[in-house]
Copies of this chain bind each other. A is one copy, B any other.
Amino acid sequence: MYRTTTCGELRAANIGQTVTLAGWVQRIRKMGGMTFIDLRDRYGITQLAFNQEVDSELCDKANHLGREYVIQITGAVAERYSKNANMPTGDVEIIVSELNVLNEAATPPFTIEDETDGGDDLRMKYRYLDLRRACVRKNLELRHKMAFEVRRYLDEQGFLEVETPVLVNSTPEGARDFVVPSRMNQGQFYALPQSPQTLKQLLMVSGFDRYFQIVKCFRDEDLRADRQPEFTQIDCEMSFVEQEDILNMFEGMSRHLFKAIKGIDLPKLPRMTWHDAMKFYGSDKPDTRFDMRFVELMDVLKGHGFSVFDEAAYIGGICAKGAASYTRKQLDALTEFVKRPQIGAKGMVYARVEADGSVKSSVDKFYTQDVLQQLKTAMQAEAGDLILILSGADAMKTRKQLCELRLEMGSQLGLRDKNKFSCLWVIDFPMYEWSDEEQRLMAMHHPFTAPKPEDIPLLDTDPAAVRANAYDMVINGVEVGGGSIRIHDAKLQEKVFEILGFTPEQAQAKFGFLMNAFKFGAPPHGGLAYGLDRFVSLFAGLDSIRDCIAFPKNNSGRDVMLDAPGFIDQSQLDELGLKIDLKE
């Protein structure tokens, strides 16, 4: 036994006890004849005191310790002269009588503090030291807790966690697979699953009724800030359910998580159709922490001689409450913001509502005060508000630009507080979206997604108008989860494939495996999957999912700590029947 207690436990009530602690030397301070050491472990920090006059040998030993040395001490818990209200153990210190160096430590390449001097690259290379920082570790503690509470809730609801295989077959749809060459079947490859979608549907065919799994998934995509080649899903599927049953079940799960982890009573989740989300927020994942909804201004602003608006297919505005005081410089910066190539607007029109109620706009010469007052009314703007307007020839593209502007304004006005949570369901996604690249309709979710029963007749007449029984859970503008009711009727499935442009032969070749299984009695079923990394990031208030992953990869897919990937021996390649054949 190396310790009788941890560095986070001792309080005033323990004064007088003799304890043994073990941990890392966080800080050493010498004051007069005293040496103070902050001893750290996962549970906290406890102050150790050494007195030169009482035991000079021991004190010398303490003075020779370095940062991050691993030590074990025994001593008496004593009241501290100057208490530290900022730390739970701040009332006490240990008068050390025995000091044992368990391990020395080289000086770490950066300080082990919440505010560290280590840059990203250095911290990733020495991730095992970075993880010593309390602010990093607490994200992983949160991750553990969230995963555990998810399991507790789903277990109570009768879900079975079933492990599906990691070595599977390459899938015909979706992103690029990671593949694994087989030694026992040379020339053939396993694939790592992009999700257990097919397997969980098979488990429904098996009658498992309620399945879940917290599971690693893999996508060999070029990485962006918020993507990792391996990521974790909370993957769920239920049988004999309609959309309503699934929404209720997983709203319940989110409610449980918010309560258990954050102490927040989540209200009933609002539901917004995809159509409304696009219309009012220009996004299928609206950040509803703040209002600032889009108002369509075609009626108000068209036909007054301002050619930009007169020629537009869409004119929309947002009202930034209290932002009339924005300076010309700030407004120019916003214009630059929307004109950035990533956003692509041509320009921005603004209008301020003055203290006297009059409206001053950047296009005053085209509009009478009368029209501008109509604008004010349409925008429900008041004195002191700032109206920002975008327009364009493509309504959907313009809405997306306005969405970016809205989010930027939300950020600038402090309306996107990480400690506030606004959750909703976005429902009634379209079944199909048109692909300019492929020149055909594509499945918006995936080809097994069921249409809304009332829209089935439209499959024949206007497939682009068909809505799906698909849904996303959105929190603070982040899609944390999504799913759909699946088609379980063979004839309906055929029709959906047909609209996607597959011949029966192509459909069989691509999806025959699952369709064959469905012949043996598939129940009605549906499900969804949450991105655990994103969910945890949201709860932790992180900007990147990387910070809630113990050993993440960088943007080139490398683990710089492990130095993976790496080269392998010729003998390994020979066993696999492979040859390196680099392309330029």
The interface of chain A, by Cβ under 8 A from chain B, is 1-3, 22-24, 40-43, 68-70, 72, 102-106, 108, 126-129, 131-132, 137, 140-141, 143-144, 147-148, 151, 155, 160-170, 176-192, 199, 202-203, 205-210, 216, 218, 220, 222, 229-230, 232, 240-242, 244-245, 488-489, 513, 517-524, 549-551, 553, 556-559, 562-568, 572-583
- Whole-angstrom CA separation of A571 from B265 in the bound complex: 51
If A205-B128, A566-B170 touch, whether A103 touches B521 (CB-CB below 8 Å) is: yes
- Cβ–Cβ contact B522 & A203, under 8 A: no
- Cβ–Cβ contact A230 & B520, under 8 A: no
- Cβ–Cβ contact A579 & B581, under 8 A: yes
- Cβ–Cβ contact B565 & A521, under 8 A: no
Q: Which residues of B contact A70 (CB under 8 A)?
A: 521-523
- Cβ–Cβ contact A513 & B566, under 8 A: no
- Cβ–Cβ contact B207 & A137, under 8 A: yes
CB distance from A450 to the nearest CB of B (A): 13
- Cβ–Cβ contact A69 & B188, under 8 A: no
CB distance from A415 to the nearest CB of B (A): 34
- Cβ–Cβ contact A181 & B183, under 8 A: no
- Cβ–Cβ contact A199 & B551, under 8 A: yes
If A167-B230, A577-B581, A579-B579 touch, whether A207 touches B103 (CB-CB below 8 Å) is: no
A206 CB contact (under 8 Å) in B23, B131, B576: B131
Q: Which residues of B contact A572 (CB under 8 A)?
A: 170, 176-177, 179
- Whole-angstrom CA separation of A33 from B51 in the bound complex: 98
- Cβ–Cβ contact B553 & A167, under 8 A: yes
Q: Which residues of B contact A573 (CB under 8 A)?
A: 581
Q: How many of these chains are in the complex?
A: 2
- Whole-angstrom CA separation of A504 from B208 in the bound complex: 55
Q: List 8 A-B contacts (CB under 8 A).
A: A41-B240, A103-B518, A105-B521, A127-B202, A144-B162, A148-B151, A179-B576, A189-B567
Q: Which residues of B contact A183 (CB under 8 A)?
A: 176, 220
If A180-B179, A576-B179 touch, whether A562 touches B168 (CB-CB below 8 Å) is: yes
Complex A-B, nearest 7 residue pairs according to Cβ-Cβ distance, in ascending order: A105-B521, A131-B206, A169-B564, A2-B240, A579-B581, A188-B565, A182-B565
- Cβ–Cβ contact B579 & A549, under 8 A: no
- Whole-angstrom CA separation of A155 from B166 in the bound complex: 26
- Whole-angstrom CA separation of A166 from B574 in the bound complex: 24
Q: Which residues of B contact A180 (CB under 8 A)?
A: 178-180, 192, 565
- Cβ–Cβ contact B557 & A179, under 8 A: no
CB distance from A179 to the nearest CB of B (A): 6
If A556-B185, A559-B168 touch, whether A488 touches B524 (CB-CB below 8 Å) is: no
- Cβ–Cβ contact B155 & A148, under 8 A: yes
CB distance from A105 to the nearest CB of B (A): 3
- Whole-angstrom CA separation of A207 from B6 in the bound complex: 12
Q: Which residues of B contact A216 (CB under 8 A)?
A: 163, 166, 216
Q: Which residues of B contact A577 (CB under 8 A)?
A: 580-583
- Whole-angstrom CA separation of A12 from B147 in the bound complex: 40
Q: Which residues of B contact A245 (CB under 8 A)?
A: 1
- Whole-angstrom CA separation of A140 from B159 in the bound complex: 12
